[in-house]
Amino acid sequence: MAKFTYGGHHSLFLDFNSLLSRWRPITFEETLSFVKKVKARDHDLYLSLFAILCQSDRTTHEVYEELVLIFQNHDDLLEEITRFRPPVMERRIGRRCSLCWLLFPPLVIALSFFITCEKPLSCLLQNTA
């Protein structure tokens, strides 16, 4: 079926499969680890991250660009934040949305647990048990 979609161009099919295989879903643990790393490094950077993610008057692209700017002097964090970018960002450019829930859902959830619970994973496990 995919070969039919690509009009018999096998190389396009392979390129597309290669692109898809590089993307994998982000786990809650990865997200929580990123948030902890940001908070441990610089509390003001952590507050900036949370403030940017909770802005609802910006497009996905605008929020991502702001995040790139705040992490520009932190190469490792900048590299990690690219994992949270939606795989197909171009389709959302120009659309306004509540970015807390559409742009980086795992990151926002981890931030919420990290803020409300001293031990977020144990808090999560207690609430689901």
- At residue 6, does pLDDT exceed 70? no
Are residues 56 and 98 in contact, defined by beta-carbon separation less than 8 angstroms?
yes
pLDDT tens string 73-99: 999 998 888 877 755 544 444 444 444
Average pLDDT, the chain: 67
pLDDT tens string 44-70: 998 898 888 777 777 777 887 888 899
pLDDT score of 21: 44
Phi-psi region of 40 (alpha: psi -120 to 50; beta: other; left: phi over 0): alpha
Phi-psi region of 94 (alpha: psi -120 to 50; beta: other; left: phi over 0): left
Q: Distance (Å, rounded) from C-alpha 44 to C-alpha 46?
A: 5
Count of residues making up the chain: 129
pLDDT score of 57: 79
Tokens of 93: 């450019």
